[in-house]
Protein backbone atom coordinates (compact mmCIF):
# COMPACT_ATOMS: atom_id res chain seq x y z
CA UNK A 1 0.00 0.00 0.00
CA UNK A 2 1.40 3.34 -1.01
CA UNK A 3 1.16 6.44 1.21
CA UNK A 4 -1.89 8.69 1.10
CA UNK A 5 -0.18 11.18 -1.24
CA UNK A 6 -0.30 8.57 -4.05
CA UNK A 7 -3.50 9.84 -5.66
CA UNK A 8 -2.77 9.61 -9.35
CA UNK A 9 -4.52 7.27 -11.78
CA UNK A 10 -2.91 5.44 -14.70
CA UNK A 11 -4.50 3.28 -17.38
CA UNK A 12 -2.93 -0.08 -18.16
CA UNK A 13 -3.25 -1.01 -21.85
CA UNK A 14 -2.76 -4.69 -22.67
CA UNK A 15 -2.84 -6.00 -26.25
CA UNK A 16 -4.90 -8.94 -27.31
CA UNK A 17 -3.20 -11.63 -29.33
CA UNK A 18 -3.45 -12.91 -32.88
CA UNK A 19 -1.78 -15.59 -34.95
CA UNK A 20 0.55 -14.27 -37.62
CA UNK A 21 2.68 -16.63 -39.75
CA UNK A 22 2.15 -19.40 -37.21
CA UNK A 23 3.22 -17.33 -34.17
CA UNK A 24 1.16 -15.67 -31.46
CA UNK A 25 1.86 -11.92 -31.54
CA UNK A 26 0.42 -8.85 -29.75
CA UNK A 27 -2.67 -7.34 -31.37
CA UNK A 28 -2.69 -3.61 -30.56
CA UNK A 29 -5.93 -3.15 -32.50
CA UNK A 30 -7.70 -5.26 -29.83
CA UNK A 31 -6.69 -3.97 -26.39
CA UNK A 32 -7.92 -4.36 -22.82
CA UNK A 33 -7.72 -1.26 -20.61
CA UNK A 34 -7.87 -1.04 -16.83
CA UNK A 35 -7.59 2.03 -14.62
CA UNK A 36 -5.28 1.71 -11.62
CA UNK A 37 -5.87 4.13 -8.76
CA UNK A 38 -3.63 5.16 -5.87
CA UNK A 39 -0.44 5.60 -7.90
CA UNK A 40 2.46 8.02 -7.66
CA UNK A 41 3.94 9.10 -11.01
CA UNK A 42 7.26 10.94 -10.93
CA UNK A 43 9.56 12.38 -13.62
CA UNK A 44 12.60 10.34 -14.61
CA UNK A 45 15.26 10.85 -17.27
CA UNK A 46 14.83 12.60 -20.57
CA UNK A 47 17.14 12.46 -23.57
CA UNK A 48 17.55 14.49 -26.75
CA UNK A 49 18.82 12.59 -29.79
CA UNK A 50 20.45 14.55 -32.61
CA UNK A 51 22.32 12.17 -34.87
CA UNK A 52 21.87 14.02 -38.16
CA UNK A 53 19.09 11.75 -39.38
CA UNK A 54 16.45 12.30 -36.74
CA UNK A 55 15.86 14.57 -33.80
CA UNK A 56 13.91 12.92 -31.04
CA UNK A 57 13.18 13.22 -27.37
CA UNK A 58 12.83 10.34 -24.94
CA UNK A 59 10.59 11.26 -22.01
CA UNK A 60 10.81 9.01 -18.96
CA UNK A 61 8.60 8.53 -15.90
CA UNK A 62 8.65 6.25 -12.90
CA UNK A 63 5.27 5.05 -11.70
CA UNK A 64 4.75 3.50 -8.29
CA UNK A 65 1.55 1.44 -8.27
CA UNK A 66 -0.22 -0.54 -5.54
CA UNK A 67 0.99 -4.04 -4.75
CA UNK A 68 -0.89 -6.67 -6.73
CA UNK A 69 -1.75 -4.37 -9.66
CA UNK A 70 -2.39 -6.36 -12.86
CA UNK A 71 0.58 -5.14 -14.91
CA UNK A 72 2.97 -7.15 -17.06
CA UNK A 73 6.07 -6.41 -19.08
CA UNK A 74 4.84 -5.58 -22.58
CA UNK A 75 1.83 -3.61 -21.38
CA UNK A 76 1.60 0.10 -22.07
CA UNK A 77 0.56 2.83 -19.66
CA UNK A 78 -1.51 5.90 -20.42
CA UNK A 79 -0.88 8.84 -18.13
CA UNK A 80 -1.82 12.49 -18.58
CA UNK A 81 -2.95 11.85 -22.17
CA UNK A 82 0.32 10.20 -23.26
CA UNK A 83 1.07 6.52 -23.87
CA UNK A 84 4.28 5.10 -22.39
CA UNK A 85 6.03 1.77 -22.85
CA UNK A 86 7.08 -0.19 -19.76
CA UNK A 87 10.82 -0.74 -20.07
CA UNK A 88 11.88 -3.97 -18.43
CA UNK A 89 9.90 -5.96 -15.90
CA UNK A 90 7.68 -4.38 -13.25
CA UNK A 91 9.76 -4.28 -10.04
CA UNK A 92 8.16 -5.49 -6.81
CA UNK A 93 9.21 -3.63 -3.68
CA UNK A 94 8.49 -5.23 -0.31
CA UNK A 95 8.48 -2.49 2.27
CA UNK A 96 8.02 -2.14 5.98
CA UNK A 97 4.85 -0.68 7.48
CA UNK A 98 2.61 -1.99 4.68
CA UNK A 99 4.38 0.11 2.04
CA UNK A 100 4.89 -2.62 -0.59
CA UNK A 101 4.36 -1.52 -4.18
CA UNK A 102 5.35 -2.10 -7.81
CA UNK A 103 7.73 0.19 -9.70
CA UNK A 104 7.29 0.77 -13.44
CA UNK A 105 9.97 2.42 -15.56
CA UNK A 106 8.16 4.18 -18.40
CA UNK A 107 9.29 5.95 -21.54
CA UNK A 108 7.91 7.44 -24.72
CA UNK A 109 9.65 8.77 -27.82
CA UNK A 110 8.57 11.77 -29.82
CA UNK A 111 10.09 13.42 -32.80
Q: Residue 106 has what pLDDT?
A: 96
Q: Residue 108 has what pLDDT?
A: 93
Q: Residue 55 has what pLDDT?
A: 73
Model pTM score: 0.84
Q: Residue 13 has what pLDDT?
A: 97
| Local structure of 62: helix, strand or coil | strand
- pLDDT (tens, 9 = 90+) of the chain, 111 residues, equals 556 667 899 999 999 999 999 999 999 999 999 999 999 999 998 787 766 666 788 889 999 999 889 999 999 999 999 999 999 999 988 876 666 889 999 999 877
Q: Where are the domains of the chain?
A: 8-110
Q: Largest Cα–Cα distance of the chain, in whole Å?
A: 51
Under CATH, which architecture does the 8-110 domain have? Beta Barrel (2.40)
Q: Residue 53 has what pLDDT?
A: 67
Q: Judge whether 57 and 45 are in contact, CB under 8 Å.
A: no
Q: Residue 57 has what pLDDT?
A: 82
Give CA–CA dist 71/34, Å, rounded.
Answer: 10
Amino acid sequence: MLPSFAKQTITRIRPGTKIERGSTVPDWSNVNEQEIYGCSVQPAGTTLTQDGRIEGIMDGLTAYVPEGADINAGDRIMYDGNVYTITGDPRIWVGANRCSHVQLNLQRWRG
